[in-house]
Copies of this chain bind each other. A is one copy, B any other.
Amino acid sequence: MLFQAPQEKEKLDPRVKRTRNLIFRAFGELLAEKGFQAITVQDIAYRAEINRATFYAHFPDKYALLQYSIRRAFEEELQQRTLSACHYSEENLRALIVTVCDFVTQSGHHCKAAGGQFDALVEGQVRAQVQELMQFWLKQRSMPPDEADIASTAAAWAIYGLAQHWARSKPQPPLDAYVQRISPLVRSLLMASTLSD
C-alpha cells in the first residue's frame, strides 16, 4: 500500500506484528460475544494464546487496545474498499464518506456496551484517519502543507459530523442520495484554494 499509516510503519519485529494480530482478532471475537466491559485482560490473553504479561507489553490496558482496535478496524475497512492507497477523485471522496457512514452505524449497534467513552474513541480515531488520508490527497496535489492541514481538518470534522447525523436520522434517507448531496460541500471545503478538477 502506498499510504501507510504513520504509526506502525516500516519493519516491525514479526513476533510483535503477530502478537498484535492475535490480540486484535481475539478482542474482536470477544467484543462480539460479550461486550466491552465484560471482557477481562485474562480473557483476551487466553483467547489470543499469549501470556497476560505480554498483553501489557503492548497495551497499557484494555482501553488502549480498544482505541488501537478501532483504528485498525477502520484501516482494514478502508483497504477493503480499495481506498487508502489512492489519489483524490470525486469518486474516492464519495467512497470515503460512505465508509465513514457505514462504520459509524456499525460501531453504533455493534457494541453499545462500553460506557459513553466508546463513541468518543470511535470519533477520534476515525476522524484522525480520515484527516490523514485527505491530507495525503491534498499534498499529492501539491497544496501547501499548512493549507492542506486546515482544509483536511475541516473536511474530516464535517464528514464525521454528517455521517453521525445520517446514522441518527429517522427516517434514514438512502445512503447514496445523502452522499451525493453532501459530497459537494466537503469538496468545497477541501478545494477552497485550488479550485480545479
Of chain B, the residue at the smallest CB distance from A22 is B18
What does the 1/0 interface line of A48-62 toward B look like (CB < 8 Å)? Answer: 011100000000000
Chain B residues within 8 Å of A51, by CB = 14
Number of chain A interface residues as a range? under 10
Q: How many copies does the complex hold?
A: 2
Complex alpha-carbon distance, A49 and B12, angstroms: 13
Complex alpha-carbon distance, A135 and B49, angstroms: 33
Q: Which of A17, A18, A21, A51 has the most CB of B within 10 A?
A: A18
A177 to chain B: closest CB distance in Å?
42
Chain B residues within 8 Å of A21, by CB = 49
Complex alpha-carbon distance, A51 and B50, angstroms: 18
Of chain B, the residue at the smallest CB distance from A18 is B49
Contacting residue for A14 out of B14, B18, B49, CB 8 A: B49
Of chain B, the residue at the smallest CB distance from A45 is B14
Enumerate chain A interface residues (CB-CB to B < 8 A). 14, 17-18, 21, 49-51
Q: Give 7 CB contacts A-B under 8 Å.
A: A14-B49, A14-B50, A14-B51, A17-B49, A18-B49, A18-B50, A21-B49
